[in-house]
Structure 1
Amino acid sequence: MTLDIYNVLIGIISAAVFQFVIFAVHIRDYKKEKFLLIWLLGTGFVIAGFFSSFLARNEDIQAYVIMVHNLLLILGQGLYYISLKKYFKPKDMIKNYRLDLGLVIFFLTIFSVFSQNITIRMISNSLVLLLFSLFSLRLLNQNRSEDIRRGSNLFIISNWINIVFWTYRILAVYFVLPKFPRLYEMIIVMSYLSSLMLCVLGSLGLIFLINQRLTSMLEKEKLKFMTIIETSPDSVVVTNLSDGKIVIANNNFMKKMQYSMEELLDETTVSIKIWKDQCSRDNFLNAIKNSENIEKYEDYLYAKDGSKFLGCISANKMSIDGEEYIISIIRDVTKVRETEKKLLESERKYKELAEQLKLEKEIAEKNSLTDGLTGLANRRYLEDRIFYEFARMKRTWMELSIIMIDVDYFKLYNDTYGHMQGDECLKIVANELNNSVKRATDLVARYGGEEFVVLLPNTGKEEAHMMATSMKKNIEDLKITHELSDVSSYVTVSVGVATFNRDTKLPCNMLIQQADEALYLAKDYGRNQVVAANL
């Protein structure tokens, strides 16, 4: 039977093109992986090398076709090796390309492509491809791990087949082919088959490598994720966004909700009644749909035994393989909110108490400066104001007047009408005196017993005298009956007036004494009159 190398080549090319298309479709989802594109390019060179063999029938260009064929085959398998290097990413990748090996491959490639001697060309071509297989085998053995065991096994097998074949081909070309030239076509067909074996098995192995690596990465990420959620002090649960079906939950969640993992899987948060009702879950769902994540969302959640707690939920929406999930971190804040409520209540009571104390303090301060009977300023406050106004008088050219008033024969009034009526009389007199002053700076104070003092800042002698006379008249016009008075049948007052300026030599505590001395003279002169101190 005569072997038609071109019929065999058509079959080989068909298989190679088919696996090229399959591989191209597969790497469409992994465009970012540069090593896949390099491998696909290498496969393209190998297929192009197979196609070039058809032109070898033309004896005029046969030698050139063989050169192109060998070059494309070497480039293709060289790119396979570079793709593997790119995949494993060994340290000092550039330094691993030894200069001497590079030169050997370069010269062998020159001989395998451009040599006119068939034996030299076939041997050098076999050596280059053998070296690529050895380099690839070494790389696979150095980086072999359990994660990529199945994929790397296919690579190792295909490269061992190549190594064995190219070794036997070198021996066959050197020792057998010269004696049996008819075996040439057989050796060529086996070369094509070997290249196809590496192309197909290598591509399949690369697919396995990718899938195994992704599976391993997913397992590691899942383990990492589970480690993270298990170490979380809070309850963590992952649910489907669409129906609320539980996917993963940590031990804290199961303990809090009183469910086992078997009870939770394939159940929804509504079906196991974690939420009060569907409406509660819908409210949470609307909140998470309006934004990618929510924080401190609070609602009551229910455990298996029906007990409830106030859950503070922080949730994130994430997408995995086109499916949307919600990862929720739940913290029981029932006690925290109760404590906050108590603190707010305590704060409210504290504020009320503080306001009450403030009011009481103001009242106490007012009482300490106010006469309890008449509501006028008391003697203590009067003395403080005299000190202040005296200092102001010394700083300015303003005058200061003091009026001292005494109710005439008040002891007789008390003995006749009683102390209660006497107190009422003092209140009426105090009110009239207070109404007689018009300026905010003027002060009316009860000095003691039936005596009153009016402090008039920025008031001269004449003005003070007019004010005193007006007060005396106003008191008498009240017509408060006083039958035993020697000066009138009504209550009257005696008034002493003293006016000072910055030139006065008297100390502050002597000012009121001057008004008192004028008052004494008013009493001595017969009462119910105004006397000004002669200063």
Structure 2
Amino acid sequence: MKVDIQTLTLVLGLIFIVQTLVLSVQYRLNRSYDGQLWMALGNGVEALGFLFLGLRSIPALTLFSILGSNACIVLGMMLIFLGILRFLEVRLPLFWMWVLYGLFLLVVLYFSLIQDSTPIRVVNLALVSALINLLTALALFFQRNVHFKTTARILGSIFIAYAFMFLLRIVSALTATAQFSSIFNPSLSQSFFYAGGIVLGNLYTFMFILMINQRLQSEERETQQRFELIFNTTPDAILITKLEDGLITAVNPAFTRITGFLKDEVIKKPILHLGVWSNSEERDRFTRILKETGLCENEEFIFHRKDGTSFTGMVSARTFMMEGQPHIISVVHDITARKQVEEALRESEAKLQDLLQQLEVEKRYAQESAITDGLTLLYNRRHFDATLRSDFYHLKRTEGILSLIMLDVDHFKKYNDTYGHLAGDDCLRKIGGVLKQVVGRTHDTVARYGGEEFAVIMPETDARGALIIANRLRSAVIDLQLPHSTSDVASEVTISVGVVTLRTSDMESPEQVVALTDQALYEAKRGGRNRVVQKDLSNQGNSHQFMQLRWNSNDNSLHPLIDQEHQQLILHSNDLLALLLQGQDKENLIPSLENLLNEVISHFNDEEAILKERSFPQLDEHARLHRDLIDQGRDVLERYKNDTLSQGELINFLIYEVIVHHMLTDDKKFFPYVGPSIPWSMVGRTSNKEIL
């Protein structure tokens, strides 16, 4: 039977076109695997090569047909080989392939353009094709995926058959060169080659599609197995229900452990029949969210167990299609224990806040008690001394006027002996009350100085104003009409009052003001009691521009280091004042000023370290005051060096602001934290009996 070789060539080209279409459709259906498109492209390029081969019968296109068919057929095989490597997830250096392809094309060009030889071209094409098919077969034989191992080996055998056909074609070309004078000369070997190509091409396409499907099925099985493993081993309850009617189709073991319902009790039953939802409104909201968005994340709901107990679950759910119907997969994480811990933490936090508030109240009470007289509820002697010192130095800097009133209950010892100490305590309380009423200004200070003696500090009050207040105080005590039958002055309780008004710039220390006022009080007593004696020194001058700072026992914090450094600062400040009084020039003063400022900085650092150790709550604010004072001190000192600041302004800042005002006022806020602790119940409770 005579076989038309040209017809077989056309049929083979059409088969390659069909294979290209089939592989392209397979790629569009499933793009998960790399390499499919390369194989489809390789078949298409081979089909183009056989179409070029069909043009060999046209003499004018012979050279074009030779070059095109050889280039496309080998390139198509290389693309198929590359596609299979990618499908098998094998990565090899392919530079050698393009070198081989280049050498192949050089041989084709030489034996087509320079020395035309069809047999040599046939051998060149068959040799390269056999090598590529053998390499493809080896890649399939040695691939490691067990799920399509048999199919891959069958496909590898097909490529070995391809290689064997090309080797037979080499033998035919070398032994029967006459029949290759034309590519379409009929012969048994030619017919066998093209017929074999048709059969093997169909087998190759079928087996490759089968291998793809086997890989898909195996991965789907693995995915299902992984899902089932996760589904059955996760500690969270998982259930799958139909979106339309809530029919349960699957639950995991954790669902049984958490809810108590067995799998057989819930499968193919609506979830509403189980009664797991504690609130129908929450259930409706959950369903509405899923229907609107298809997703619900980390929503908290209360559920019922089979035994009637409740638990809190955090639910994440989404809709998906299964068996053509919309379903819901829900994951429920039991957070009951966490909610109990959170509730316990909230309760503990509330108790802690209550405790902190109580401690704050007690701290404020302790602070108030530390400066308050327990009997009269006026300020005590300690607060009086601190306030007088602060006002004294402040007014000294501003050259303001200070008035001090001191008063004493007349014949109070006789009152105690006659009416008893309880009545005496009541008398002092009432006098303290009227003193507070008469002295109405907030910046004035009314204090119990000791025993039956009281004092009023009145900054920026002239002699006339102080005298008016003193007389009002005396009259107010008389108006109390407290009987005093053993008094030598009157039938009711009276007081003697001493008043001093002065400029603190004329004084050396607060103690000097107290001494002058006490002297006025003494004169009031000596003058017959129940009277006011005033000394107005506000218009007198003093040749001394500066004073000497003095350490007072009330300034002790009872912390050894802090008190030691405070006293050293007082001492060195007095040394600086002595230099000023001696008229030292600026060059001699600047080193002393710098040393004093450095000593202040060192003291601030030590003080902050101690306060941090003692957990002083206002440490940050206190440290900010330190930084501000240091910055201001450096600026003031620099201005003094540049002759833009007077000596008086410099000394006022360094001594009065930094040392006196800060050290003797602001620092006392932390005294309760650095000194030895005493029971709060003992703070500020002193009766007149204990003093007497």
TM-score normalized by the length of structure 1: 0.75
Offset from partner CA, 1:12-42 (integer Å, 9 cap, x none): 6776655544333222235686743343334
C-alpha contact (below 8 Å) 1:472/1:492 kept by paired residues? yes
Tell me if 1:350 matches 2:355.
no
Report the equivalent of 1:213. 215
SS in structure 2 at match of 1:159: helix
C-alpha contact (below 8 Å) 1:45/1:76 kept by paired residues? yes
Q: Which runs of 5+ in 1 are unaligned?
A: none
> Which shows bigger deviation, 433-442 or 307-316?
307-316
C-alpha contact (below 8 Å) 1:67/1:113 kept by paired residues? no
Tell me if 1:107 matches 2:107.
yes
Q: Output the CA distance in 1 between the equivalents of 2:21 and 2:265.
A: 47
Offset from partner CA, 1:54-109 (integer Å, 9 cap, x none): 777x7867967984895465554454334334544644432443957864686379
C-alpha contact (below 8 Å) 2:15/2:201 kept by paired residues? no
Identity of aligned residues (%): 30
Tell me if 1:235 matches 2:230.
no
Cα 1:509–1:290 shift into 2, 3 Å: farther
Report the equivalent of 1:495. 497
Deviation at 1:194, TM superposition (A): 1.7
Q: Output the CA distance in 2 between the equivalents of 1:427 and 1:531.
A: 24
Q: Output the CA distance in 2 between the equivalents of 1:176 and 1:130.
A: 19
SS in structure 1 at match of 2:406: strand
C-alpha contact (below 8 Å) 2:239/2:252 kept by paired residues? no
Q: Output the CA distance in 1 between the equivalents of 2:409 and 2:94.
A: 118
Deviation at 1:342, TM superposition (A): 1.8
Deviation at 1:328, TM superposition (A): 6.3
Amino acid at match of 1:437: V
Q: Output the CA distance in 2 between the equivalents of 1:202 and 1:442.
A: 109
Deviation at 1:375, TM superposition (A): 3.3
SS in structure 1 at match of 2:399: coil
Q: Output the CA distance in 2 between the equivalents of 1:462 and 1:121.
A: 134
Q: Output the CA distance in 2 between the equivalents of 1:419 and 1:443.
A: 27
Amino acid at match of 1:402: L
C-alpha contact (below 8 Å) 1:151/1:207 kept by paired residues? no
Correspondence 1:322-337 to 2 at 5 A: 330-337=332-339
Q: Once superposed, what is the RMSD of the aligned Cα atoms? A: 5.1
Report the equivalent of 2:387. 385
Tell me if 1:452 matches 2:458.
no
Amino acid at match of 1:235: D
Amino acid at match of 2:442: A
C-alpha contact (below 8 Å) 2:407/2:496 kept by paired residues? yes
Tell me if 1:28 matches 2:21.
no
Amino acid at match of 1:531: V
Tell me if 1:437 matches 2:453.
no
> Which shows bigger deviation, 108-117 or 249-258?
108-117
Q: Output the CA distance in 2 between the equivalents of 1:69 and 1:513.
A: 126
Offset from partner CA, 1:261-305 (integer Å, 9 cap, x none): 888888887676665477545534555677797664322345565
Q: Output the CA distance in 1 between the equivalents of 2:89 and 2:110.
A: 29
Report the equivalent of 2:200. 198
C-alpha contact (below 8 Å) 1:113/1:125 kept by paired residues? no
Cα 1:270–1:10 shift into 2, 3 Å: farther
Offset from partner CA, 1:177-204 (integer Å, 9 cap, x none): 979x999355444333222223222222
Q: Output the CA distance in 2 between the equivalents of 1:44 and 1:82.
A: 14
Offset from partner CA, 1:229-278 (integer Å, 9 cap, x none): 8887x527475794678898776666545578888888887676665477
Deviation at 1:307, TM superposition (A): 4.5
Q: Output the CA distance in 2 between the equivalents of 1:448 and 1:350.
A: 41
Cα 1:133–1:262 shift into 2, 3 Å: farther
Q: Output the CA distance in 1 between the equivalents of 2:494 and 2:150.
A: 125
> Which shows bigger deviation, 124-133 or 204-213?
124-133
Q: Output the CA distance in 2 between the equivalents of 1:197 and 1:515.
A: 131
Cα 1:31–1:299 shift into 2, 3 Å: closer
Report the equivalent of 2:157. 157
Cα 1:93–1:331 shift into 2, 3 Å: same
C-alpha contact (below 8 Å) 1:85/1:93 kept by paired residues? no
Cα 1:371–1:109 shift into 2, 3 Å: same
Larger radius of gyration: 1
Cα 1:377–1:12 shift into 2, 3 Å: closer
> Which shows bigger deviation, 289-298 or 300-309?
289-298
Report the equivalent of 2:472. 470
> Which shows bigger deviation, 241-250 or 461-470?
241-250
SS in structure 2 at match of 1:496: strand
SS in structure 1 at match of 2:400: coil
Report the equivalent of 1:43. 43
Report the equivalent of 1:404. 406
Q: Output the CA distance in 1 between the equivalents of 2:443 and 2:68.
A: 118
Cα 1:323–1:107 shift into 2, 3 Å: farther
Cα 1:463–1:345 shift into 2, 3 Å: same
Report the equivalent of 1:81. 81
Correspondence 1:144-293 to 2 at 5 A: 145-168=145-168, 184=186, 187-219=189-221, 234-235=235-236, 237=238, 239=240, 242=243, 255-257=257-259, 275-276=277-278, 280-284=282-286
Q: Output the CA distance in 1 between the equivalents of 2:310 and 2:157.
A: 62
Q: Which runs of 5+ in 2 are unaligned?
A: 538-692
Q: Output the CA distance in 2 between the equivalents of 1:258 and 1:37.
A: 53
Report the equivalent of 1:136. 136
> Which shows bigger deviation, 395-404 or 10-19?
10-19
Report the equivalent of 1:97. 97
Cα 1:173–1:282 shift into 2, 3 Å: farther
Offset from partner CA, 1:398-423 (integer Å, 9 cap, x none): 34333333344556666777777666
Cα 1:493–1:278 shift into 2, 3 Å: closer
> Which shows bigger deviation, 413-422 or 145-154?
413-422
Q: Output the CA distance in 2 between the equivalents of 1:428 and 1:45.
A: 117
Q: Output the CA distance in 2 between the equivalents of 1:158 and 1:519.
A: 129
C-alpha contact (below 8 Å) 1:55/1:62 kept by paired residues? yes
Q: Output the CA distance in 1 between the equivalents of 2:254 and 2:112.
A: 69
> Which shows bigger deviation, 109-118 or 252-261?
109-118
TM-score normalized by the length of structure 2: 0.60
Offset from partner CA, 1:100-136 (integer Å, 9 cap, x none): 7864686379769999777666666555544443333
Q: Output the CA distance in 2 between the equivalents of 1:409 and 1:178.
A: 157
SS in structure 1 at match of 2:94: coil
Deviation at 1:52, TM superposition (A): 6.8
SS in structure 1 at match of 2:97: coil
Q: Output the CA distance in 2 between the equivalents of 1:277 and 1:493.
A: 78
Amino acid at match of 1:26: Q
SS in structure 2 at match of 1:335: helix
